[in-house]
Amino acid sequence: MLSKFRDRLKWLLFPGINLHARLRYRVLPKFIPISGGAAEATLLDAGCGNGMLTYQAYRRGYRALGVSIKSGEVERNQRLFNQYLRIPKEQLEFRLHNLYELPALKTQFDQIICSEVLEHIKRDREMCQIFWDVLKPGGTLHLCCPNADHPDNRNALLDLEEKGGHVRAGYTAESYRQLLEPIGFQLSEVVGLGGPIRQTLNKMLMAVENFAGLPTAVAVFVIIRPLLLFDPIVPRIPYSLYVKATKPGP
């Protein structure tokens, strides 16, 4: 009974109170074409986190697979989506899997999402080459990472030993091109997400959660949420940068 109540509460707050995550949950799916119900349309969420974008891909008609190196994430996603929401694993699946070992899945995907993950990976060029290898010709890689030009990202401490933190401040439009175009990707869009009001409020929310706990943070979230209406849609220095990279095909 307690577990069901916890899942119900989690779904009520989904995808959580992080204001940047909520923006990605709302905006990024707009760049993923609706599959049209084709049974063979497949999508990989590489580093799926709480499964929010894997779920959005499922809603857009894909057979969606979310992979994570964290067993806790996989178990929580399976409990929420496959057990609580009763979505069949054949349509929405979560697996424990290392991103460097994606070729072992022996599957090529129509779309790949990699959101807020690549900045944690030292061998990012190797990782993007792997994405190219498991992507079908004509398929698209959807990348979203911190904007390296944002002062909060530029001045943050880095995890030089790749133990879970950011190994780089993020990417710019130019560093995205330098990373992806030599592999063969064609970049068609670079979109900034998250303005100064959202970032200020989000930092406050995370501080409240750390010091006062989640229930207090949720109460603050409800109060401050209307202020997001004043955040610029096209921020001058966005907190994150999304890029759409296509693998040429017939």
Q: In the predicted model, is pLDDT for residue 161 greater than 90?
A: no
The answer to whether the bond into 29 is cis (omega within 30° of 0) is no
* 128 shares a domain with 79: yes
What is the rounded distance in angstroms from the CA atom of residue 120 to the CA atom of residue 8?
31
Question: Same structural domain for residues 189 and 200?
Answer: no
The neighbouring-strand residues paired with 68 are 96
Query: What's the pLDDT score for residue 1?
Result: 60
- Same domain, residue pair 16 and 42: yes
Same domain, 102 and 164: yes
7 pLDDT above the threshold of 90: no
Residues 128, 145 within the same domain:
yes
- Cβ neighbours around 197 below 10 Å, total: 17
Which of 37-51, 78-92, 111-125, 176-190 has the weakest average pLDDT? 37-51
CATH number assigned to the domain comprising residue 11: 3.40.50.150
Q: What angle do CA 32, 37, 40 make, to 5 degrees?
A: 85
pLDDT 10s digits, 48-68:
999 999 999 999 999 999 999
Q: How far apart are CA 68 and CA 86, in angstroms?
A: 21
In the predicted structure, residue 132 carries a pLDDT above the cut 60? yes
- Indicate whether 93 and 147 sit together in one domain: yes
What is the Cα–Cα distance from 108 to 137, expressed in whole angstroms?
A: 9
How many domains does the chain contain in total?
A: 2
Does the pLDDT value for residue 37 go beyond 80?
Answer: no
Indicate whether 100 and 185 sit together in one domain.
Answer: yes
Determine the average pLDDT of the residues in 34-40.
Answer: 71
Give the pLDDT mean for 95-101. 97
Q: Across the chain, what does the average pLDDT equal?
A: 95
The boundaries of the domain holding residue 200 are 196-231
Question: Is the domain of 150 the same as that of 223?
Answer: no
199, pLDDT greater than 70: yes
Q: Please report which confidence band the pLDDT of residue 39 belongs to, taking 50, 70 and 90 as the band edges.
A: low
Q: Are residues 93 and 204 in the same domain?
A: no
pLDDT, tens digit (0-9, with 9 covering 90-100), for 207-237:
999 999 999 999 999 999 999 999 999 999 9
pLDDT band at 38 (very low <50, low <70, confident <90, very high): low
Same domain, 14 and 32: yes
Considering the domain architecture, whether residues 160 and 211 belong to the same structural domain is answered as: no
The C-alpha atoms of residue 164 and residue 167 are separated, in whole angstroms, by 8
**Are 204 and 178 in a shared domain?**
no
